[in-house]
Amino acid sequence: MTATFQLVCHILRDDGDTGYFYAMERKDGEFHIVEALQIYVVTNVADRQKPSELAIVWCSDGTKAALLINDYFYAAFDFAAKRGYRRTGFGTATADWQDAPHD
């Protein structure tokens, strides 16, 4: 994959209240969030006391990545189209990424 900047999306952050999946861009030696997708609200997770298995899988050309929790698809980023998708449609995009429905 040839690109003028490096994109990564390996950040899942859980602050104890919510879990977010972030697409980030590395530019000028620093990481910047370009898309944030809310994945869950902790109080709404029925089996939150059980350990979960998280996987981030990439397509072979490196332009798309998906988040799976316990083998269930939750979200995806399409870096070529600059779009994020998640099951319930809630997300926040920067000016460079499309501020469109996320479902």
d(C-alpha 67, C-alpha 79), whole Å? 14
Q: How far is CA 47 from the centre of its chain?
A: 22
**pLDDT-based confidence at 100, cuts 50/70/90?**
low
For 54-98, the pLDDT digits (tens) are: 898 999 988 899 999 999 998 998 888 888 888 766 555 555 665
pLDDT, tens digit, for every residue of 3-31?
434 455 556 788 888 888 888 887 888 88
pTM of the prediction? 0.73
CA angle 62/76/91 to nearest 5° reads: 130
pLDDT number for residue 71 = 92
